[in-house]
Structure 1
Amino acid sequence: MKLRIPDAVSRSISVTGRTSEPEKPELRRTREQNPESPVPIWVFDESGGPVDLRFVERREQVVASRRQRALFLVGTLGTLAFLLAAVGGYLLSPLADVDAVNVIGEAALSPQEIQTASGIQLGSPLIAVNEIEVERRLDALYSIEHASVLRRWDGVVEIRITERVPALVLSSGKHRLSVTADGVVVSDQPEDLLLREVRVASLESNGTIPKPGTRVRPSLVSLVGFASALPYDLAVRVTAITIDANDELILDVEGGVTVIVGRGNDVRDKLSAFRTMLGPQIDRSEGCLIDLRIPMSSVMRRKPYCDPPAPVEPPAPADLPSDELPATAPAT
């Protein structure tokens, strides 16, 4: 909107729009010398209507402020775009690629095999290494219990390995499996001669022998957990461990005593009862069998009653004397 300021204001219009007397020259000079004077200065727009000059100045200030904000916003967005482009260029440049993969922790697999299984390629962008995905790939390996991956911005990826530790060797015929305490098969050709061997009536699970990385059948998992949880002071007194065809755990203890543990439930109570039955307060003279299947009511059998007596079959009638033959009812 174009405004024109007359060379000489012959009259002033009050705020109420009424016409006042022509402005006196001395009042004009006073206002020009003192711009803060409350007396309004009027200008005229294109339509010829009066407009207070202060409104015009305020409008110009608002327009200038909006222009400054727009310039600031454009400058800020441009700076952010430049920074993002610079950061993206750095992350995708050879300055931020994978220079080395460090494997920390002992494992059955070599560092090169672990790097291959992780899928990390030397020279690939470091930002492209998905730590969670790499950990998932490594945890799927049968010999690794847990893997943690850390990206370092100096171009190094650290892989920390926690290897599965076998606790027992399960043997059945020609099959031998080293398993962890939770029943995961580590190897089907165990070479560690220091592991305790457990004789099992059958290792089959759904008709097949478990492969490395899989678990034995659930009924064996709890028994393996019990056998591996034996404290040292009790384990040294166990001479042999067997799992029979009914999936019940049987321990041979020094002194010729057989301990029937049964299934792998109530592990804590059975261990406590086992410790009590082998303690000095129990007289085990002539003892041959300890039954822990009900841990709160453990039973010890002594010779010659180690085995329950075989049921006695009644003799056949032909073997009985005539006076001992059962009487028959008279025919009617």
Structure 2
Amino acid sequence: MTETGGLAPVRDKAAERTRKRFARRQWARRWLTWRYVLVFVLLVAAVVTAVWLVFFSAVLAVKSVTVTGADLLSERQVKQAAAVPEGEQLAVLDTAGILLRVKALAAVKSADVAKRWPDGVEIRIVERQVVAVVDLGGRWRGIDSEGVVFREYDRPPGGLPRVQVLATADRDALREAAEVVAALPADLSARVDHVEVATVDQIALVLRDQRRVEWGSAEESAEKASVLAALLEAREARVYDVSVPGQPVTSDSAR
């Protein structure tokens, strides 16, 4: 065997290895390029799927509405007022509009509307609490501590003070009277037959034994209640004036 003949196979093997290495490098480059393309395609597909699920699919559309905190109101009343569009995509649901409609109910003091994924809406309400009843146009209506009229009674319920609104009273005066009633401690409130309100600073309590308390406005109500409790224990009188709690006055003359 000649030297040339012996080297030829070696050169062929070396060339083959070089070709294979080149082919592998070429394939690696192609795979790297296709890998980026594949990742991009998968990302686009994921985004498209997510958009379809959130904005178009029935999977994330409103299917249920729950109401918590309703007592005076029924769940049906709250749901009717809320008017939540069932079948609408939860992602684009107008919760602010729903909240405004729920808060428009007179008995609702505060409310919150929340999305509950994947397909629910929760409405949480806090109802107003009656502190007194008032005769308005021949109908007994309940009012809360802010003077908001929000429910009706066939007759005055026991245990709640009545508010008598004089001709000179306006809405602000009614609100002030409600604040006075809400500020009364339970033992004093139980002794009140009714509250007379003429103006925002002309409010009086008439006790169940017909003694009268000139209260003034709702300012310093806690101090006025404390002074009145001491006066009721210390002296029998027809009229107690605590409108200026630092200078209370009593009288045996009915006004």
TM-score range, shorter chain: 0.7 to 0.9
Q: Is the 8 A contact 1:172 1:202 kept in 2?
A: no
User: Which of residues 241, 245, 253 is equivalent to 1:291?
Assistant: 241
User: Which of residues 198, 209, 219 is equivalent to 2:163?
Assistant: 198
- Which structure 2 residues correspond to residues 1-332 of structure 1 after superposition, within 5 A? 72=36, 77-91=40-54, 92-171=56-135, 174-187=138-151, 189-191=152-154, 193-194=157-158, 195-202=160-167, 205=170, 217-244=171-198, 248-253=202-207, 255-279=209-233, 282=234, 284-285=235-236, 287-301=237-251, 303=252, 306=253
DSSP-derived class of the 2:88 partner: coil
Between the aligned partners of 1:263 and 1:247, the Cα distance in structure 2 is 4
Q: CA RMSD in A?
A: 3.1
Between the aligned partners of 1:183 and 1:246, the Cα distance in structure 2 is 12
Q: Is the 8 A contact 2:70 2:127 kept in 1?
A: yes
Q: Deviations over 1:207-239 (max 9, x none)?
A: xxxxxxxxxx22321221111221111112223
Q: Structure 1 residues 262, 203: CA separation in 2 closer, same or farther (over 3 Å shift)?
A: same
Q: Is the 8 A contact 2:184 2:221 kept in 1?
A: no
Residue 260 of structure 1, CA deviation: 0.7
DSSP-derived class of the 1:293 partner: coil
Q: Deviations over 1:234-268 (max 9, x none)?
A: 11222332224686222223555321111222222
DSSP-derived class of the 1:295 partner: coil
Between the aligned partners of 1:204 and 1:242, the Cα distance in structure 2 is 10
Residue 134 of structure 1, CA deviation: 1.9
TM score, norm. by length of structure 1: 0.58
Name the amino acid aligned to 1:201. Answer: L
Q: Is the 8 A contact 1:107 1:144 kept in 2?
A: no
TM score, norm. by length of structure 2: 0.74
- More helix per residue: 2
Q: Is the 8 A contact 2:214 2:241 kept in 1?
A: yes
Structure 1 vs Structure 2: percent identity of aligned residues?
A: 24
DSSP-derived class of the 1:102 partner: strand
Between the aligned partners of 1:246 and 1:164, the Cα distance in structure 2 is 22
DSSP-derived class of the 2:195 partner: strand
Residue in structure 2 matched with residue 313 of structure 1 by the alignment: none
Residue in structure 2 matched with residue 12 of structure 1 by the alignment: none
Between the aligned partners of 1:262 and 1:221, the Cα distance in structure 2 is 13
Q: Structure 1 residues 145, 255: CA separation in 2 closer, same or farther (over 3 Å shift)?
A: closer
Aligned length: 224
DSSP-derived class of the 2:130 partner: coil
